[in-house]
Structure formats: structure tokens, C-alpha cells
Amino acid sequence: MLVLRLVYNNNLDFISEIQELRSLLKKKDIKIGIVESVELENHIVKILCDDSSYNERVKEIVNLYISNILYKIVLEEYKNKEMFDYLTENYFFLKQDEIIEIEDQIMKVLFNNDSISFDNLIYCLNKINNIIEKIKICLEENSEININGFIRFRMKELREDIESIVDKVIETYMVEKEYREFIKLLKYFVEIQESKIEKVNIIIDGEGNYSIVDIDKKDIFSEFMKEIIECKVDNEVKMEDIIISGLITNAPKSVVIHGKENCINKEFINTIENVFGNKVSFCKDCNLCAEKQVKF
């Protein structure tokens, strides 16, 4: 029984991936056949299944697998013919090297590379699934599909989802770029001033509360807070911001973080590490770690 008939021209080649589908189904005791032929300039691939093995579940598996193959073909088509123009027209402020870097990130996200992790990943994964589902619906409605024609007539519909992913990747890239520039500025402030404090201990208890003491175990959080008040900063400023501001202002020669594993705000620790570099160290077994500190 014919499950699906695919027609495409010489510019496409995905037979090896269809062969993988046959191997996958074989493990499930489902045998399918693949018949290739050429008519004029078109390649034709027929995916066949034995009548005794065929059911709607088999067709669903084939359609989903082919949908993923077509999704990759659509991505390559968009990358090669449209993505650069979209980036340069809508994000003209990006430099050439930034465009190259962003293109790489975009393709990793679109291909759902396991090494990619960022704030908008769930949104992008939902969009990817939406694209694949649209392709799958088209396959379910037709037992034959001309892949080149599909790309030509359906790209507009799929492009909207692809470019929404592109926008999210760039949004994340710009946020990270601003963060890097912010960290660079903070490091500069620290480097140009003399240290006012020899050592700052940041103790984080089991509930994630902070205590700030100097080398003599003297509470210095009040000094940090005083500097914030003198700068007429909003009283609702976050605890982590007060600590980082105090560290920047006093530029200690060393920062020791006790109970890092108790920190709820991991970005707080990362910021301190990024700004103070090798001046930062971690501890979890000293006397300060064990002593009960004042909680703010």
C-alpha cells in the first residue's frame, strides 16, 4: 500500500534520512519499502507498506518523520535565500561579525541543538513544533506532495513562525550583549579605584538570606546601605543590587562567598564572578559558614 509519494527536483537529497525511517520502523516490526524513480527532471520516492502491517499509526509515524525532514529543508531554503536579507533589513544596526554570530545561533535554535539554552527557548520550541505541525497537516491531507512546490507556496505561512524565532534569538542576543557591556563597565569602575576594604565575606544561609562582614567579622551591610541612601536610590532596590553596588564602590581586594549553593539568584553570583574575576573565592566549611549571622 502506498503511504506517501514525494516528488522533488535534483536540488534536494534526503534519501538517506528516509532510509533511517525504514530502519526505525523495522525495530518496531513494521516493514516499509522505498521505491525511487526519475521522470523527466523530477525524482520520485514512494514509501510503501505491506497491507498486513499498515494502519493509521504507521501513516502517522511516516507523516511525522517526513514532516521533520521537510522542516529541515524549509530551514535550509530560508537560510540560503532569505535570512540574510531579513537580518540586514530589520536589524541594520548589527555589524557583519554580529550577523555571522547571530546566524549561527539562529540555526542552532531552529535545529533544536541540545547545547543551546536561553530565556526564550520554550517559546522557540513551541514555534518549531507549530511549523512541523503545519507541515504534517499538509501531508495528512495529501498522499502525494511536490516538495519544491510545497516550499514555493507554503513558505510565506511558515516564514512568519521562522522569523518570530529569529526575532526572539536576536532579542536574547541583544540582552546578553548589553549585559556583557554592563559587566565590562563595572570591571572598569573597580579597576580604576583603590580598594577601601581588604576582604568582604558574603554569607548565604540555608534560606538564601545574606550577611555581609569584613575581615574582622564586622557587619558592613549598613555601610553598603548608607551609600545607596546617599545616592538617593529607590528604597525598594533589591538586596543583591545593594551588595553589588557596595562591592563596586569599595573595590575589595578579595570577595569570599560562603554557602554558594544556598543562593537563590544564580545571576547574582555570576555577576560578582564576572566583575571581580580571580578576586572571588568560595567557601562552605569555615567558621563563618557555621556561625549564625544576622539576616536582612
54-89 pLDDT, tens per residue?
888 888 989 999 999 999 999 999 999 999 999 999
According to DSSP, the β-strands at 2-8 and 144-146 are parallel
Query: Are 165 and 124 a contacting pair, CB within 8 Å?
Result: yes
pLDDT at 296: 43
Indicate the pLDDT class of residue 228, thresholds 50, 70 and 90: low
Indicate the pLDDT class of residue 234, thresholds 50, 70 and 90: low
What cell numbers appear for 171 in the block? 532579542
> What is 176-238 written as a DSSP string?
HHHHHHHHHHHHHHHHHS--S-SEEEEEE-TTS-EEEEETT--B-HHHHHHHHHHTT--TT--
* Integer Cα distance of 294 and 296 in angstroms: 7
Going by C-alpha positions, the residue among 194, 115, 148, 174 that lies closest to residue 12 is: 148
Going by C-alpha positions, the residue among 119, 126, 105 that lies closest to residue 175 is: 119
Grid cell 550583549 in the structure block, residue:
177
| Average pLDDT for the chain | 87
Count H helices and E strands in the chain, helices first: 10, 8
pLDDT at 53: 77
Indicate yes or no: pTM above 0.85.
no
* Integer Cα distance of 255 and 200 in angstroms: 5
- Higher local confidence (pLDDT), 7 or 287: 7
Indicate the pLDDT class of residue 52, thresholds 50, 70 and 90: confident
